[in-house]
Every structure is written in structure tokens, then in C-alpha cells.
A and B are shown apart, each in its own frame.
Chain A
Amino acid sequence: MDQANTKVIKQRTVFSRLLSYLKRDQKRLIAAFALLIIATGTDLLGPIIIKIFIDDHLTPRSFEPSVMVLMAGGYIGIIVLSCLLNYVQLVLFQTAAMNIIQSMRIDVFSNVHDLGLRFFDRTPVGSLVSKITNDTEAIKDFYVSVLSAFVQNIVYLAGIFIAMFYLNVKLGLFCLVLLPVIGFIMVLYRKYSSQSFLHMREKLSELNAKLNESLQGMSIVQVFNQQRRLKKEFADVNKEHNEAWMKNIKYNGLLLRPAVDLVYVLAIMIVLSFFGIKSFSSPVEIGVIYAFVNYMDRFFEPVNMLMMRLSMFQQAIIAGSRVFELLDEDDQAPGTKGSSDPVITEGAIEFKNVTFSYDGKHPVLKNISFHARPGETVALVGHTGSGKSSITNLLMRFYELQQGEITIDSVPLSHYRNDELRSKMGLVLQDSFLFAGNIAHNISLFNTDITRERVKEASDFVQASEFIEKLPDGYDQEIGERGSTFSTGQRQLISFARTMAFEPKILILDEATANIDTQTEDAIQHALHKMRSGRTTIAIAHRLSTIQDADQILVLHKGEIVERGTHQELIQFGGLYFKMYTLQQKDKPTEEVS
């Protein structure tokens, strides 16, 4: 019971939040609404003109040519005008709805970018993408189909009533009886039909989930000889789904179009009886009967439309609640403390007693302290899960520091602005992620300060220019399918060039584990060497051979630094590093160990 209550309240807040978005394109909506009212008015004048024609001209048989031309012209004019106005009005409503959705999409997208990596860690990519695109698309239906249909049809119904009251107040009053009847049907429809529709959708997704799972696990099903049992289980769900569907068909049959048409005949009966009874005592204008019958013919299509859009409403609300949930997400990326706007000039890095945990329970780093002087290379080595990447994640301020302190040039990391950090620290990731677009774009990203010259210089520097310039379109070569046409090594070189184009003070390297052909491998090692010189470098190394010249090697195990020193010192020490080194010597040249 309680749960149901909160659900209703939530629905209502989602609904009013969706409505508040209308302000985003207020002017257009007001214009559309004004046109809608005029268009409806003109449209409904038609039957009145015919009524005047029947009563004042056809019945008394007076056909003055000039009046006739005027009436015919007026009638045609009204039809054409209302069609034009309606067209403009429909386009305006739709445009406004589309603009609103666009601004909502941008809101969601920007908000997602403000979130910290912690959020990305716990949210699957697929569900995020679907919220930004598919769910907003479902909300589009709310504005385009539901809201505009409600406004238009309600205005139309109101217009019909006004016309009827104008023609005959008494009959207009009688016709008001129709409203509670229709309202009653709508309430019933919402209660039974919409409910059974939702129930059917639930069953459908259950059915599809079952099918999907069976397809994925079919070999298990077959190996364990369970085909017969699963067929029966599937048939059962299938049957339940069909029963729910049948129930929905029955409710629709009782409450939707057939019921509305029943009311239509009731309305016709009211009109005819009214004039019939009136005719016993006084003459009746035939034209008025015509006009009333005509209005009644037009009255029920909007009603049908309104009912059918009700179930769309429900779906939009569900999508809306998902989108707003994402909009309200405030697991923000770590921000800046103070307003001194320090600048990184030297690139000295220090970790003091840093302890860190992603989930607050299991620490991945314990009491890490080290110091990298400007221009030095510090290499991090260790088994998978030893905490190497966490150190670089903290240094890049992807995550908020929990215990201990990190300083750059003796200023706490948290005092730097994000821009400053990101422009002075160059990150080279393990998997070189390429974006859609050409090579130049992948090197400069969106930064317009980076000229084509700079792109070329950076590529030269890392010796990527050699292969890039051999491509048919050179730097303008499009990157197809996330760069799958390039070799792993070439992708690495492009991402090196990207890093160098941003001219970082500090370099953070997360070395690739993948096997690279020897030739490119040499180019990469050469490039890395050049990149490191003169920059403070924190390198995560998988191939110990590449970091033998590091000023300091930290060996991590389960989040702790267990050995530290230069290559020579560690080899002499004969500990974990020595074992790892021997292992890799053994494997050469085929395999590496992460």
C-alpha cells in the first residue's frame, strides 16, 4: 500500500517536471496555441454556414446569386484557412516538442560529463546510452503525441460545445450529459485497460528475457538434455502472456471504440428526440439539426484519440523517471578547493601516506609514499590488482583522495583547477581509444589552439608522421570503426601524438600489454624515450625491460610498496622484482606477464 502511494506521488512529480520543461520553448508554444484556437474556430464555422444556407435559403427557396457566391466562397475559404492554420499549428507544436527534447538531452549529456569516474565504474555503458537516447525519445512521445493531442482535442471539444451552445442553449445543456459519461468511460479505461496493458507488457518482457537467455545458454540446455523442460516453461510464459493480452483485448473491446460509439448513438438520440419533441409544439429549423448531427459526428474522434494516448502517457512517465534520476545524479567529479589557481611549473610529485579504497571497504592502496623530482621517471610494477592503476587514477584526480596527501610542486592536488591538471598532465592509456573523425581530430581532439602545424610536430616527435603521411588522405584520413583498420602499434603512436600535442609537464604512462610487432615496438620504445626526457614521468610497466633506466622503481603487492630502488639495486636484492625479471627473461620473446 505504502509502496503504491509513493509510486503515485513520484508519477506526479515526474509529470509536473515534464510540464515545467514547456517553458523552454514558451513563445512557440503560445503561438501554436493561439493558432490552434483560431483554426478550431474556423473549422467549426463550416456547419454553421451550411445551417444558415439550409434554413435561410434552401428551405424558403431564396437563392440570390450574390449571397450564394458569398456563402460558397466563405465556406471554401474557411476550409482552406483552417487547413492552413492547422498545418502551421501542428508543425509548431512538433517543433517545440523537439526543441524541448533536445535541450533535455543536452542537459543529461552535460550532467553525465560532470560526473566522476566512480559513477562510470558502477553504471554499465549500455544503460547510460539508452537513458540519454531511447528514454528521451520516449519522452518525446509525451510532448509530441500525448500532450499536443490532449491540448488539441480538448480545445476542439470545447469549440464544439461553444458552437452547440451558440446554436441552441437548451440542447447544448442536454449534451453536457455526455461529458460525465465519457469521463466515466475514461476512468474505467484507465483503471482496467491501461492496467491490463501494462500487465501484458510486463509479461512480454518476461517472455523476451526468457527467450534471450535460452538463446544465449542454448548449448547448456542441449548438453544437459533439458530441451523438453525449457520448451514447456517457455510455452507456459507464452501462454500467460497471451492470456494477459486477451484480457487487454477484451477490456479494449468493452471500453474503447465500441463504448465511445455507443455514446455517439446516444448523443444522436438526444439531438433527434429534442428536435422531434420540439416539433410537436413549434416549427424547427432543419439547418440546426444538420449542424448538431454534424458536430456530433466530429465529437467522438477526438475522444477516441484521447483514450488511445493514455497508455503512451504511462510509458513516457516511466522513461521520464529514469531520465530525471540520471539528471539528479550528483556523484560529481572531484572539484577544486580554494581559489589560488596555482600553476604547475616544475612537475615535482609527492605521495604522502596515501590510502585509498574504491568501495570504502577493501583498500586498494595502503600507506603509499614516494617522491618524484622534476624530470624523473618513477616506474610502478606489480601483479594485476596490485594497485598500480589506482595510483595514476588518484594523480589524475579521477577519484577523490580519502587519506594522506598528494602534492605537485608542493601544492596539494586538490588546489589545482581541473583545466590546469589536465593540460599539464599527459595520460597515455593502455588501450588507445580513438574517436570517430580523422587523424588530425584524434590528435588535437576539440582543442582549437592546436594548429595543424602542432599536430604535425607532435606526430613527428613520436615518429607517427611516417605512417600517417603514407595514408591516402594523410592527416585527414578518416578513422573507421574505432580505428580497427590500424594496427595496435599505430593506434598507440596516434595516442602518443595526442598526448604530446597537449605539451604536458608530467607524463603518465599506462603501458600496453598487447603484443606489438617488433618494428613498431622499436618505434614505440624510441618515442617513449623521447617523450620522457625532461618530463616527470609515472610509468606503469608490464615489460620490465622498458623501464630499466627509471630513476626509481616501486614494486607493489596488494596495495603496498614492497620493494623500491633502481633496476640494479632491485636485481641485487633478489626479491619479487628479481623473480619477475627472471620470469620475463625466460618468456622472451613470445609472451609477457601482466
Chain B
Amino acid sequence: MQDLNVFWDLMWYFKQEKRRYLTGIALLSLVSLCLLVPPKIIGYTVDHIKNNSLTERQLGSYMLILAAVAVTVYILRFFWRVLIYGASIQLALLLRNRLYTHFTNMSPRFYQKRRVGDLMAHSTNDLQAIQQTAGDGVLTLVDSSMMGGFTLITMASTISWKLTLISLLPLPFMAWSTSRYGTMLHERFHKAQEAFSEMNDKVQESISGARVIKAFGQEEEDVDAFKALSKDVVQKNIAVAKVDALFDPTISLVVGASFFLAVSYGSFLVLNGELTIGQLVSFTSYLGLLIWPMLAFGWLFNIVERGRASYDRVTALLKVNDVISEKEDGIQKTPAGSVVVNLTSFSFEENGQKALQDIHFELNEGKTMGIVGKTGSGKTTLCRLLLREFEVEDNQIFLAGHDINDYRLHAVREAIGYVPQDHFLFSATVAENIAFGKYRASFQDIKQAAKDAAVYEDIVQFKNGFETVVGERGVTLSGGQKQRISIARALLTEPELLILDDSLSAVDARTEEDILKNLKRKRKDKTTIITAHRLSSVGHADLILVLDEGRMVQKGTHEELIAVPGWYRDTYERQALESLIAKGG
């Protein structure tokens, strides 16, 4: 019962759309009233025919009334649907936009804690359940109370309250049994779902293990195992069907019993002269009208139960406030590219493990810095701190002489062009992807950025050139192509500070050289930070940091670092040999 509270939770929306809802409900009520007319007319006609007192004029006017009612109901029904369902899908639209806006405001911390699949489920299944509550929920509530109420009142007051009472005796049984079936169905359905997902897992396993199964020649045996599971699915589903098939016969049984009582007790009343035959005929018609409100009542609970749970989930999600804090009066101006880092320590969770500590460097405008180190040494974390994707304490990072926390977020981001490690492209054309950060860029500029990122030759070889759609629904690009398009995307915004986060890993040595040469030429006066596994990417830098387990273990130029024993020199020598082997000796 308390699930009905969801209507209170949604009251803000009903109020906002009160015109639509009130008119819709009024129309629905009118429809309910109109539907009471045909059974009456049927009764009158029958009585007149029986008494041989029907005149042509009377029949004509009855038919006219029926026609008028039918057309009115048709029109009213169309409009309440448009009003109520229209309002309900508008709510879905509203909440969906609200969620999307919320998602764009959430910091990476939010996404680290949640799976995309779950967020998608909130935006699809949960919104659907809420929309149903605001649409079908309202409809069933109004219909079962209005339609049911009006019909009962008409039956009791205009025909016979005694007959009404007697005929309704079996109906509570219908409500009781259908709700019981509902519970049973729920349980069995759950089991069937489990069996289904077990089968799903099996298929998943067989297909990912296809090579092993083939290697051991176990195909037939695996099919047998699958047969057993799919048989289980069938059995569980038949168990569901056995309950599901109870609904219709039970409803007919109850309705039949009700009709039987109506006709037998009604005949008794007819004999006593308390009722005409026509009234009895219209009574049975009214009885037919009562079936739907009864069923709607059961359905209503189903809808609000889901709607309430979903609404609670969505509101909880909207309340999460994982945002990067901004100063109201923060600096709006895009900072220039000088960076000073005096980081004593940084950890993702409060009092959690330190991800970075004791990192100090100064990088003047126009200089290039390299960051190297093993996987997990903290290179990416450092880059993301510069982007202010995570919060740092005051006085640890300075951009153009000001604390990074004193800037508005958009100012920081505008200053930086970032090429992430996991090159993510959108399902759009190559040109749109390159222009992602500067949407109105001219085609000339887009082309130039592609050339600077050494991906132009690849693009013009695609069938549709720059108009080629990439991503899931388009062509599949190689890792190297994706990386270079990501680089072009960052270059196009002409950032004060360019950060390449291990973004040259999938390109071959010659292309890497080309890109680095282009960067040197194009970004003579701008700052660049490059993180890499391959030392060849950073050899030319003005300053190189070596990180290990979140600490800065070495700092200097290539020449300085190569002169002293340590990680940098070891790695340099090893990579030289490796590249020799890759070339075939």
C-alpha cells in the first residue's frame, strides 16, 4: 500500500503539469460515465421489445444516443491518452535530461566507483518504470476507482442493490486468487530467470573456451552439457506457464459464477416483479464492465511497486555530489603554460594509500617535459591532477603563477590539451572527432591538425576520407590510428599546455619521430608534457622526471640521466637492444 506514496513523490510533476493531468483525469471520468449509457439503452430496448411498445422514433433516438456516445468516447479517449501519456513521457524526457546533465557534472571519482552498465540501467529501466507510474499508474488508479465506482453505483441505485451484492460475491475471490498467482508467478519467474542466466553463462564459457574445447575434441560433450541446461530452462519456464495459464481460466470462472448468480437471482427478482427482463440484460452488461477495473487494480500495485523503487534509485543517484569544487569568484582567464608543482602527497581516498608524494618541479612556458617510469608509477595520476580531475590541497600546483584551485574549472581545461592513454573516439566522422574540442574549426585547420599528428595519410586512404564514421557503427581503426586522431584532436585546440599521456605507444618508431618533430616546430612557444614507456619519446625534453611507486626518483635532462647509473640508464640500454631485435637484428 505504501508504494502508492510514489504518487506523492511525483506530486511536484503533477503540479507542474496540472493542466494536462486534471483535464486528462476529467476526460477519463467522462469516458467512464459515457460507458454506463449503452447497457442502459440495451435494457430499455429489450423491455420495449418485450412489451411490444417499441416505436420507430424511439428506436431511432436510442440508436442516435448510442452513436453519439460512441463518437464522444472515441474522441475523449484519444485526448486523454494524448494528455496523460504525453505528460508521462515528458517526465521521462525531463528526468533523462536531468540525469545527463548530472552525469556531465560528475568528477572521475564518480565514474571510478560505478559501472557504466549500472548507470545505463538507471537511465533506461528505471526511467521506464517511472514513466509507467506517471502514465499507466495514473490511468489504472483513476480507472479502477472511477469506472469501478460509477458502475457499482449505477448497478446498485438504478437496478437493484440486492442483485448487485449477490452477483459481486465471487469477485473478491478473483482479486485474491490473482494476487496469489502473482506471488507464485514472481517466485517461479525468478527461478526461470536464474536458469536462463545459468544457460547464458554456459554459452559464454563455451564460446570463450571454443579453442580449448576443440583442442580436446570435446564438442559433442559440450553440446550435451548445454542440452541439460537448456532443458532446465524449459522446465522452469513450463513451471511459470503453469501458473501463468491459471489467470485466464480463473477470471472466466469467476465471471461465469458471477453471471450465474446474476441470472438466477435476477430471474427470481423478475418473477417477483422487482425487476424487468431488460434491466436484467443491462445488469449483466454492467457486470462485464466491472472486470477491467478489477484487473486494473491488481496491475496498479504492480506498477507503483516498480515505480517507487525506481524513483528512489534515480533520486538517490541525482543526489550524489561528486563534483570538483570551484571558487565562485575564481579566475576566468585561461592560464598560460607555466607549471610549478610542489606536491607533498596525494591519495585518491581520504587517508588512503598515497598515490603520489614529494614531486617538485618547475616548467617554464614553452618548455617540454618528459615523465617516465614503470606501469603504475603515477605518471597518469600526475597528468590528471594538472587537469584538476581530482582535488589537491592548496599551494601544491600552480599554473601561470596562480594556485590551480583559484581558477574556474573551465579556465584550467581550456588551457590544456590532453591526449589520454586509453584513446577514446566517439561514433562520429573522423573530422568531427578531430574537431571535438573546437567544434567550429575550419576544415583547413582540421586537415592541418591531422597532418601534424601524422594521421593525414591514413585518413585520406579511407573510402570516405574525413567523413568516415568511426566507432562501433563505423570502421574499425588500429590502435595507432586512434592514438594519432586523439593527438590531432588535442592539437587542434592549440592549448597552452599539451599533455600526451603515453599516447605514442602504438605508433612505430618512424611515425613517432615525425610527430615529435612536428610538435617541436608547432609548439615552439608552448608547453608540452609527454609521459612514455619508450624513452625515445622523451629524449629531446628539457626536463625528464623518473617516477617510481608515486615518488620522483630521478630528475634531469637525457644527457644528465644517462650519465649516472639508475633506472633511466638501465631502461635506455635495454630498449636499445629491444628495438634492434624488433628490426630483425
- Indicate which residue in A72, A106, A580 contacts B227 across the interface (CB closer than 8 Å): A106
Residues on B with C-beta less than 8 A from A418 are: 217
Residues on A with C-beta less than 8 A from B256 are: 46, 76, 79, 83
* 29 CB < 8 A contacts A-B: A50-B259, A50-B263, A53-B263, A54-B277, A83-B252, A86-B248, A91-B242, A91-B245, A98-B237, A113-B222, A128-B207, A133-B203, A213-B426, A213-B471, A214-B103, A215-B120, A219-B389, A242-B90, A250-B78, A259-B74, A276-B54, A283-B52, A286-B49, A290-B46, A419-B217, A433-B211, A446-B224, A576-B581, A576-B585
- Indicate which residue in B42, B111, B222, B230 contacts A446 across the interface (CB closer than 8 Å): B222
Count of A-B contacts judged by CB separation below 8 Å: 352
Contact A398 B214 (CB under 8 A): yes
A106 to B226, CA, bound (A): 8
Residues on A with C-beta less than 8 A from B414 are: 225
- Contacts A253-B77, A586-B574 given: A226-B436 contact, CB under 8 Å? yes
Decide yes or no whether B352 CB sits under 8 A from chain A. Answer: no
Contact B252 A234 (CB under 8 A): no
Contact A280 B54 (CB under 8 A): yes
Q: How many residues of A contact B (CB 8 A)?
A: 135
Within 8 A of A (CB), among B245-299: 245-246, 248-250, 252-253, 256-257, 259-260, 263-264, 267, 270-271, 277, 281, 284-285, 288
- Contacts A120-B210, A211-B100 given: A579-B223 contact, CB under 8 Å? no
A422 to B413, CA, bound (A): 58
Q: Which of A268, A276, A294, A433 has the most CB of B within 10 A?
A: A276
- Indicate which residue in A219, A227, A258, A275 contacts B420 across the interface (CB closer than 8 Å): A219
A344 to B56, CA, bound (A): 100
Decide yes or no whether B212 CB sits under 8 A from chain A. Answer: yes
Interface SS of chain B: helix, strand, loop or mixed? helix
Among B11-19, B58-66, B175-183, B551-559, the stretch that binds chain A is B58-66
Within 8 A of A (CB), among B547-585: 573-574, 577-578, 580-582, 584-585
User: Interface 1/0s, chain A 26-62, versus B by CB < 8 A?
Assistant: 0000000000000000010010001001100011010
- Contacts A83-B250, A84-B249, A289-B46 given: A95-B241 contact, CB under 8 Å? yes
Residues on B with C-beta less than 8 A from A427 are: 212, 215-216
Decide yes or no whether B520 CB sits under 8 A from chain A. Answer: no
Residues on B with C-beta less than 8 A from A246 are: 82, 86, 89
Residues on B with C-beta less than 8 A from A252 are: 81
Decide yes or no whether B531 CB sits under 8 A from chain A. Answer: no
Residues on B with C-beta less than 8 A from A466 are: none
- Contacts A254-B78, A272-B63 given: A113-B45 contact, CB under 8 Å? no
Decide yes or no whether B233 CB sits under 8 A from chain A. Answer: yes
Contact A132 B203 (CB under 8 A): yes
Where the two chains meet, the residues of B that have a C-beta atom closer than 8 Å to any C-beta of A are: 38, 41-42, 45-46, 48-50, 52, 54, 56, 59, 62-63, 66-67, 69-71, 73-74, 77-79, 81-82, 85-86, 89-90, 92-93, 96-97, 100-101, 103-106, 108, 111, 116, 119-120, 123-124, 196, 199-219, 221-227, 230-231, 233-234, 237-238, 241-242, 244-246, 248-250, 252-253, 256-257, 259-260, 263-264, 267, 270-271, 277, 281, 284-285, 288, 387, 389, 410, 413-414, 416, 418, 420, 424, 426-427, 436-437, 439, 471-473, 489, 493, 573-574, 577-578, 580-582, 584-585
A254 to B78, CA, bound (A): 6
Residues on B with C-beta less than 8 A from A356 are: none
Contact A498 B216 (CB under 8 A): yes
Least Cβ–Cβ distance between A523 and chain B, in angstroms: 22
- Indicate which residue in B59, B123, B216, B288 contacts A211 across the interface (CB closer than 8 Å): B123
